[in-house]
Amino acid sequence: MRRYGLKFLLLILLFIAVFLISFLMGRYEISVWTTVKILIDALVRTVTGGSYGLSKTWSVEAQTIVLNVRLPRIACAALVGAALSVAGASFQGMFRNPMVSPDLLGASTGAGFGAALAIFIGASYYAITFSAFIFGLAAVFLTYSISRLSKIKTTLALVLSGIVVGSLFQSGTSFIKLVADQDSQLPAITYWLMGSLSSVKGRDVLLCAVPVLIGLIPIMLLRWRINLLTVSEAEARSMGIETTTLRFIVIVCATLMTSASVAVSGMIGWIGLVVPHCCRLIYGQNYRQLLPSSAIAGATFLMITDNIARTAATSEIPLGILTSLIGAPVFIYLIIKGGTASES
């Protein structure tokens, strides 16, 4: 347990370092000290209702860039990365399958269809986000409803239903792309589906944070019980755990996190698959330790990826491309190495 505490502390320090360094990334150069003072001033003024604050020794432009441009984007990257990683780890435990990712039940493809439909009908930015979120939830609700009607074993029925529902929504998205205007709508749909945080504003962080926290907090509180989902049904029931109820809670919470994340950032793959695997190698299989470490590691990973996306080229690189380029080689390495760390 002491070893886990030390490793987790190092992970938190890495997260803080990446969080602060992310404010220095960009074409408008702002020093570390100036950035820290702006953030402290904003925090103090928020807590005191504007009554107190630091003496302003920085420009209005620097404050605008730090608080209105970089802070929302960095905060959203951390939220989305944490949400997708925890959702992926939770599903992997629930289905007892390390190859499971957050979009297994159709949340991502449903959200993608919702966004594509909203763009096609000319909806506003926030309407696109709302549509993506609602269709992400609807896809998982449809998946769960089909599985409940099935006579097949519950877990297998969920997986098969998720594949079918995901395929249906993917077909719908493809049809929309086929009939969309090739000069305006199709590029917008394609870019959204590749994932990006370039349009994130302060309000988006709040829209993402509320459902993410509603899903994240119960999963964190129940994380020790998720360990019981990795054993057989008979063993779990012998310990007094109602697995059906627990699975339903995990599905609802993970779906909320995934749908909210995809609605704000677009479709970003690999995070919910690769990050939990990396954390297992370092922190072990125990979900009491795995879920918190996956949250911090996922947040750190997506912040780093987003920094690369906005600085590596003259035009911004979609996040989905970068996460695939980084995630695929890492996952190949994990496959070749095989195995996971023992519990700390």
Domain extent listing, the chain = 2-337
Distance separating alpha carbons of residues 21 and 341, to the nearest angstrom: 30
**C-alpha closest to that of 56 among 69, 71, 38, 68:** 38
Ranked by mean pLDDT, the top range of 121-125, 168-172, 222-226 is 168-172
Which range has the worst mean pLDDT, 68-77, 136-145, 189-198, 332-341? 332-341
pLDDT at 180 over 90: yes
pTM of the model: 0.90
Distance separating alpha carbons of residues 320 and 120, to the nearest angstrom: 21
pLDDT for 22-50, tens place per residue? 999 888 888 889 999 999 999 999 999 88
Structural contact between residues 138 and 265, judged by C-beta atoms closer than 8 angstroms: no
pLDDT at 344 over 50: no
At 269 the pLDDT is 85
The angle subtended at Cα 83 by Cα 81 and Cα 85, nearest 5°, is: 65
**Average pLDDT of the chain, as a whole number:** 89
Residues 187-195 have a mean pLDDT of 92
Residue 240 confidence class, pLDDT cut points 50, 70, 90: low
CATH fold for domain 2-337: ABC transporter involved in vitamin B12 uptake, BtuC (1.10.3470)
The number of beta carbons lying within 10 Å of the beta carbon of residue 79 is 26
Angstrom distances, CA of residue 339 to CA of 6, 46, 336, 342: 22, 47, 9, 9
Structural contact between residues 135 and 110, judged by C-beta atoms closer than 8 angstroms: yes
Residue 236 confidence class, pLDDT cut points 50, 70, 90: low
pLDDT at 154 over 80: no
The amino acid present at 237, given as its one-letter code, is: R
318: tokens are 């979609």
pLDDT at 80 over 90: yes
Distance separating alpha carbons of residues 234 and 248, to the nearest angstrom: 18
At 155 the pLDDT is 79
**C-alpha closest to that of 343 among 254, 230, 215, 216:** 230
Ranked by mean pLDDT, the top range of 78-87, 145-154, 321-330 is 78-87
**C-alpha closest to that of 116 among 80, 169, 183:** 169
The number of beta carbons lying within 10 Å of the beta carbon of residue 334 is 18
Q: Is the four-CA dihedral 21, 27, 30, 31 of positive or negative sign?
A: positive
Ranked by mean pLDDT, the top range of 122-136, 148-162, 309-323 is 122-136
Q: Is the four-CA dihedral 90, 105, 101, 258 of positive or negative sign?
A: negative
Distance separating alpha carbons of residues 252 and 157, to the nearest angstrom: 17
pLDDT for 254-265, tens place per residue? 999 999 999 999
202: tokens are 């302060």
